[in-house]
Copies of this chain bind each other. A is one copy, B any other.
Amino acid sequence: MPGIKDVAERAGLSVATVSRALSGKGNVSTRSRERAQAAAAELGFVLSYHASSLASGRNHNVGLVVPSVHRWFFSSVVEGVSATLLDAGYDLTLYNVSEGQERRHSVLNDFLLRKRVDAVIAVSLELSEAEIQQLLAIHRPIVGIGGPLPGASTIRIDDSGIAQAAARHLIQLGHSKIAHMTGDAAYEKDFRLPGTRQGGFKKAMKDAGLAVRPEWQVSADFTIQGAYASARQLLGGPVERPTAVFAASDEMAIGTILAARDFGLRVPYDLSVIGIDGHELGEVFGLTTIDQDARGQGALAVRRLLAGLDGVGDPGAADAEFPTRFVIRSSTAVPPVDSVPLR
């Protein structure tokens, strides 16, 4: 493999000049730059990543920690992050820490302390204050998406607010028998979102003077199949059937719709369903939802980090609330006539 020395020799320049020419930093005459580039091209030379990183202290590499890559939100964020990073010439080191907590810690130690990454994006992961301080101490900016990160910069949507909006939408249509499907407790550890959305739902119900019936509070694991199973219990069980379901994610809303169909329930005539996400499948199901642009959130996270790395601005612990968009389709409507109180 050719080294920068070979390039320098061939171009009739010093190693230093070639380095500057190739990296674009520092002053180099056009002539030298062209020579260096030509020589590099002829030799098929590319700067060694590790040598550059070691010498310069910059990695051009961002770590992305996600709990899963299968669920819609996460894979969407990954896509957004990946595309933005690639455009900026950065590498993405992916840490899928699905399988438990021990691994998470070793991951953090390993790639943060070993300074392989310039920055970290943590998705729906609840880092401890200590972990965050550790990161900030070694000047590794960190931004969180979809989870509270005390002391760090975060990007999030107004979970409580949109949950309220979703519930209000149903209430305004005339529903009073509204069920809520929230995320599983299993996820609550790292993922406070279920609680937040649930809180918003309860608030909206309370505000409207409606009862939050415990038997209509169900949970699932954020997947279609998990929600399908839960919804079958809810809709096919012995308890009175709600006229509307607010699911904390589109995937769960879709699972609910599938379960409803199994029971011959027509959506929205017999059952209204609303989700949160903006999942690509929403259109197929005519799903009313609140669109959170997950790709966009990933992209924004990257832009924020890079601004802090390349530029001067340190965004600090700035919290950005990402905008959402209410998308009304055909899965929500007025409740069935026989369930509306006659006037």
Q: Which residues of A are interface residues toward B (Cβ below 8 A)? A: 1, 44, 46-51, 53-54, 59, 61, 68-70, 75-76, 78-79, 82-83, 86, 89, 91-96, 98-99, 103, 107, 109-111, 113-116, 138, 223-225, 228, 255, 258, 261, 280-281, 283-284
Q: Do residues A98 and B79 form an inter-chain contact, with CB atoms below 8 A?
A: yes
Q: Do residues B86 and A75 form an inter-chain contact, with CB atoms below 8 A?
A: no
Give chain B nearest CB distance to A7 CB in angstroms.
13
Give chain B nearest CB distance to A104 CB in angstroms.
10
Q: Do residues B53 and A50 form an inter-chain contact, with CB atoms below 8 A?
A: yes
Instruction: Assess A114 versus B46: contact at CB under 8 Å? Given A54-B51, A83-B99.
Output: yes
Q: Do residues B258 and A138 form an inter-chain contact, with CB atoms below 8 A?
A: no
Copies in the complex: 2
Instruction: Assess A94 versus B113: contact at CB under 8 Å? Given A261-B261, A284-B258.
Output: no
A48 proximity list for chain B (CB < 8 A): 54, 114-115
Apart from A46-B110, A255-B284, A258-B284, 7 more pairs, CB < 8 Å: A48-B114, A48-B115, A50-B54, A68-B79, A79-B96, A86-B95, A93-B94
Q: Do residues B96 and A111 form an inter-chain contact, with CB atoms below 8 A?
A: no
Q: How far is the CA of A59 from the CA of B49 in the complex (A)?
A: 10
Taking CB as reference atom, which chain B residue is nearest A255?
B284
A103 proximity list for chain B (CB < 8 A): 86
